[in-house]
A and B are shown apart, each in its own frame.
Chain A
Amino acid sequence: QVQLVQSGSTLKMPGASVKLSCQASGYRFKSYAVNWVRQAPGQGLEWIGWINTNSGKPENAQGFTGRFVFSLDTSVNTAYLQISRLEAEDTAVYYCVRASGWAFDHWGQGTAVTVSS
């Protein structure tokens, strides 16, 4: 079955960096894009962007450019989201999501990132 398994929760100091991982299984990794979605505590869903798992080409949403970088390691079917210069406002659960041609059809379990001194 399709699974997206994300790395564990993490606590970071402001100004630090974090690299989140999302390992896919149960399907051909390069056949589906990987999107990333953020959910701040008690808030709604916010699309960060996506990466084409075939070409490696990323697209970031406005407001998520510069500090948010997507990458891949197709040898281990894994997508990454690196966030640099962390701010308190980055505290959220980050989801990786498999995208079919019509919806976000499978979601990872989420990684909670807490930014605090």
Chain B
Amino acid sequence: DIVMTQSPDSLAVSLGERATINCKSSQSVLYGPNNKNYLTWYQQKPGQPPKLLIYWASTRESGVPDRFSGSGSGTDFTLTISSLQAEDVAVYYCQQYYTTPYTFGQGTKLEIK
């Protein structure tokens, strides 16, 4: 199984500041034939199901604000929120969609400082 490890486990950032969450996979999730990284980011607010933010490591889902961006390739990935808003308080999960079992990171809890 591909193990997904996020860092940090929790993060407190001031409003308007940048938040950065890292995700590392135990093996590459880069699919050679189409050169896409099968790495996905989800946001989960309390009492709600997760919401898709970014797929293919860096493609924003329709309707997701452009302050959210994803980067990375192979085994190392980053989710960046460029200017933290109050509504961004949530737990963020990365997931590899490269092969089953589709594994998730343990989650990173983002709070306001």
Give me the interface of A with B, judged by CB distance under 8 Å.
35, 44-47, 49-50, 59, 61-62, 95, 102-110
Roughly how many angstroms separate A50 CA and B101 CA in the complex, as a whole number?
A: 10
Shortest distance from the beta carbon of B111 to any chain A beta carbon, whole Å: 16
Shortest distance from the beta carbon of A63 to any chain B beta carbon, whole Å: 9
Number of interface residues of B (CB under 8 A): 23
Closest to B104 in A: A45
Residues of A within 8 A of B52 (CB): 103-106
Given contacts A103-B40, A103-B55, contact A45 B50 (CB under 8 A): yes
Roughly how many angstroms separate A37 CA and B50 CA in the complex, as a whole number?
A: 10
Q: Is the CB of A105 within 8 A of B49?
A: no
Give me the interface of B with A, judged by CB distance under 8 Å.
1, 36, 38, 40, 42, 49-52, 55-56, 61, 93, 95, 97, 100-107
Q: Is the CB of B49 within 8 A of A108?
A: yes
Residues of A within 8 A of B100 (CB): 47, 50, 59, 61
Count of chain A to chain B residue pairs whose CB atoms are closer than 8 Å in the complex: 56
Q: Is the CB of B104 within 8 A of A44?
A: yes
Q: Is the CB of A109 within 8 A of B102?
A: no
Q: Is the CB of B38 within 8 A of A107?
A: no
Checking A47, A95, A102 against B103 with a beta-carbon cut-off of 8 angstroms, the contacting residue is A47
Checking B1, B56, B93, B107 against A102 with a beta-carbon cut-off of 8 angstroms, the contacting residue is B56
Roughly how many angstroms separate A104 CA and B93 CA in the complex, as a whole number?
A: 12
Query: What are the 7 A-B residue pairs with the smallest beta carbon separation, nearest first?
Result: A107-B49, A103-B55, A61-B101, A45-B104, A103-B40, A102-B55, A47-B102
Shortest distance from the beta carbon of A44 to any chain B beta carbon, whole Å: 5
Given contacts A102-B55, A102-B56, A103-B55, contact A47 B49 (CB under 8 A): no
Q: Can you list 26 A-B pairs, Cβ within 8 angstroms, ordered by A? A: A44-B93, A44-B105, A44-B106, A45-B42, A45-B93, A45-B95, A45-B104, A45-B107, A47-B100, A47-B101, A49-B101, A50-B100, A62-B101, A95-B50, A102-B55, A102-B97, A103-B52, A103-B55, A103-B61, A104-B40, A104-B42, A104-B52, A104-B97, A107-B50, A107-B51, A110-B49
